[in-house]
Structure 1
Amino acid sequence: MKKHPFLFLVGGIFSLMIAMGIGRFAYTPILPLMQSSLSFTDAVAGYLASSNYAGYFIGAILAGVLPLKKHKTFYLRASLVINIVTTCLMGFSHSYILMLIVRFISGVTSAFIFVLASSIVLDKLAAIGKTNWSGLFYAGVGFGIFFSTLFIPSLNNLFEWEGVWIGLAIISVILFIFVWLWLKDSPNRIMKKEEQVVVTQAPPLKWLPWLIIAYGLEGLGYIITGTFIVSIAEQTSTFSNDPAIVWMVAGLAAIPSCIIWSNLAKKWGFVKSLVFSMLLQSIGIVLPVFSLSKSSLMLSALLFGATFMGITTLATTLARQMSPSNSGRIIGYLTAVYAAGQMIGPTFAGILLSHTQGFNSALVAAASAVFIGAVLLISGIRYER
């Protein structure tokens, strides 16, 4: 471990690739394949997505409440094993009820993995004075989205949508071996000096409710694009053959985004960066309402990918700076509110889609939620001056 002190960071990246890039977000590019094969409606697709986010919500609350501090490594590994099993089970599910249950369990474990891996990695980075590397860790979600989407067309051609899920589960098993070897919790050795320096730069704890509400609105808004962007692309003549390419663009944009936003936060401050990233995202969400051209959808995917994980990086790092000694619990609360927004979003969007027979009203509602969240954060900028 001493020869390669940053292998834990690679382990953290791989854990996010498994739980988020594949376990959660592979559903977006596989959804059109499942819909054409199983003929279920947009409302049903929304319920399936919401089932996953309901699990994520429960998992985030449990991760914040349960005493996991002493056995983080054990809980992380157990959650990863169950998460991979649920990804595989999706390939064997043809019953809608079974799919709802499997996606729910997948959501619970995704939240556990996100909170536990974040807590382990951010604490270790703080202990060695490298908190600016948190952007590299969160890039794992973008890597997961990009690499999983690369395999989807060929897996689908060979084995249909069922084989896509099973193939992605096999890839997850390979990644898990490295997580097992490299990502372990160590006794808390956070530098007091670093804590004191950081705390002076962050808003006071009394400002936390604004961050939590804004982050919940972000969860509600971004997930509508995150669930349906490939389905939107599939309905246009430009992308009808290979709509998953839009999701690949989002994944590619997500990879460097966390590092870019972390660096911007150093120059501008975390709150100002959060406001700007959420305003950019609301523009990206609403773009397809005005134009469904190839360039417009690509730009929408690019803005989405460039902001959604950046916002998570900024919000979780900011929350950790506001309460360094209680990082796991604070990140758990933030993740729970975000998950509550995600749970409401796809169901609400699915119902709107079924009534309006189009995506516009759902996208306008999503963009509005994110925009309002950005406005709520403006009050925190004064603390960073």
Structure 2
Amino acid sequence: MIKNPFLFLLGGIFSLMIAMGIGRFAYTPILPLMQDALHFTDAVAGYLASSNYAGYFVGAILAGVLPLKKHKTFYLRGSLVISIITTCMMGIFHSYILMLIIRFISGVASAFIFVLASSIVLDKLAISGKTNWAGYFYSGVGFGIFFSTLFIPSFNHLFKWEGVWVGLAIISVILTIFVWLWLKDSPNTVIKKDEQIKITNAPPIKWLPWLIIAYGLEGLGYIVTGTFIVSIADKTSLLSIDSAIIWIVVGLGAIPSCIIWSTLAKKWGFVKTLVFSMILQSIGIALPVFWLTQSSLVISALLFGATFMGITTLATTLARQMVPKNSSRIIGYLTAFYAAGQMIGPTIAGILLSYTQSFNSALIGAASVVFIGAMLLVSGIRYDRIPNIEASPIKSN
């Protein structure tokens, strides 16, 4: 059992704020500031983003392959320290080659934190019969995006874009202190022989490849908006507000999304809800192509925020229930395919942007990829006949 469930959960939320909200996604609102100061192209911006996602890909594979089961807390803490250092270094060095290396290492650390924190939190929640709390845990990404972006205009005004990175690293240090105190793995997280996981209504393991491929396509498509939406807002004359506000909207949409989608999944079934959320996201990605106004950018940001972490919550929870015995490994493999998509997406999008001088082709391509991923999952809806897929410990008699 968890000694203090609230503080344990808060530790998990803070870990995602550091790794994802700051370590990974702070690049998006800082990107226009860096482009204005350093004058690099959209293609270069895409390469920098892809470098981070390549690191995320490598980290996810390593987290799935390495025997981390007995030392999750140790590796988690080490990864948090690396994430903080690389965030700080982005504000110190101006060399493009060094930035590529720093973003790569940051991506490796982010993947380790995501996989290990997810494994520790989901396993303990399952043992404690609190799996419905998973949505609160994944809201950490939304909180990270929202709160970190609030600081960016002030940091930029006082210390320029370099100071934004350093300031966010200092915030990460403060959050890490609480993660260190509250988020710990322990032997009793391991599922004992007299406990079994209720997975009778989860899809069979033979369907897992469809989930993995679809999740990889989600990574390929969503990341185009995830990388460039603030740049789109920055480069349009239609926006009368600071373009960073668009990223704050993404964070606001992401905060409650995991809880909402988890609740819907219990009523509709996980696969059906996953298909619906991906279709909704594809609409949001394509929206600025057909309707480019201030309102459409805000709606697109809200739809993006409301779906991208919800999709992650649904996919990782579903995969864990299909293969419950080694959660860190299956989440690692799933995350690796997702990261592979992310690694390719920004590079293709950046090249398209530089070639066409328009975001339209990249957005249409990204929306199409996510929609195709949703269609691949349709075959699994039949496994949703029994509602309320939920992992909970059942004591054997």
- Quick check: TM above 0.5? yes
Distance 1:239 1:325 in 2: 50
- Give the 4+ runs in structure 1 shifted more than 3 A: 189-196
Q: Retained in 2: the 8 A contact 1:125–1:131?
A: yes
The Cα offsets for residues 342-373 of structure 1, whole Å up to 9 and x where unpaired, read as 00000000000011000000000000000000
1:292 to partner: Cα distance: 1.6
Structure 1: give runs of 5+ residues left out of the alignment. Answer: none
The Cα offsets for residues 116-136 of structure 1, whole Å up to 9 and x where unpaired, read as 000000000001001111000
Structure 1 segment 203-218 matched on structure 2, within 5 A: 203-218=203-218
1:4 to partner: Cα distance: 2.5
The Cα offsets for residues 309-355 of structure 1, whole Å up to 9 and x where unpaired, read as 00000000000000111111000000000000000000000000011
Structure 2: give runs of 5+ residues left out of the alignment. Answer: 386-397
1:162 to partner: Cα distance: 0.1
SS of 1:201's partner is coil
Q: Which residue is equivalent to 1:276? A: 276
1:7 to partner: Cα distance: 1.3
The Cα offsets for residues 151-202 of structure 1, whole Å up to 9 and x where unpaired, read as 00010000000000000000000000000000000113437787442x1121
Distance 1:91 1:195 in 2: 48
SS of 1:237's partner is coil
Q: Retained in 2: the 8 A contact 1:135–1:259?
A: yes
Structure 1 segment 154-165 matched on structure 2, within 5 A: 154-165=154-165
SS of 1:91's partner is coil
1:383 to partner: Cα distance: 1.2
Q: 1:375 to 1:337 in 2, by over 3 A?
A: same
1:239 to partner: Cα distance: 2.6
Q: 1:337 to 1:351 in 2, by over 3 A?
A: same
1:3 to partner: Cα distance: 5.9
Distance 2:147 2:69 in 1: 32
Distance 2:159 2:195 in 1: 52
**So what's the TM-score if we normalise by structure 1?**
0.98
SS of 1:132's partner is helix
1:43 to partner: Cα distance: 0.1
Distance 1:75 1:384 in 2: 36
Q: Retained in 1: the 8 A contact 2:57–2:339?
A: yes
Q: Retained in 2: the 8 A contact 1:195–1:324?
A: no
Q: Which residue is equivalent to 1:365? A: 365
Q: Which residue is equivalent to 2:180? A: 180
Task: Please report the RMSD computed on the Cα atoms of aligned residues, expressed in angstroms.
Answer: 1.3
Q: Retained in 2: the 8 A contact 1:127–1:191?
A: no
Structure 1 segment 117-266 matched on structure 2, within 5 A: 117-187=117-187, 188-190=189-191, 195-197=196-198, 199-239=199-239, 242-266=242-266
Q: Retained in 1: the 8 A contact 2:12–2:117?
A: yes
Q: 1:2 to 1:275 in 2, by over 3 A?
A: closer
Q: Retained in 2: the 8 A contact 1:24–1:110?
A: yes
Q: Retained in 1: the 8 A contact 2:2–2:124?
A: no
Distance 1:329 1:25 in 2: 24
State percent identity of aligned pairs.
Answer: 82
1:235 to partner: Cα distance: 1.1
Q: Which residue is equivalent to 2:388? A: none
Q: 1:341 to 1:120 in 2, by over 3 A?
A: same
1:241 to partner: Cα distance: 5.3
Q: Which residue is equivalent to 1:38? A: 38
Q: Which residue is equivalent to 2:389? A: none
SS of 2:5's partner is coil
Q: 1:285 to 1:11 in 2, by over 3 A?
A: same
Distance 1:326 1:217 in 2: 24
Q: Which residue is equivalent to 2:115? A: 115
1:259 to partner: Cα distance: 0.2
Q: 1:379 to 1:365 in 2, by over 3 A?
A: same
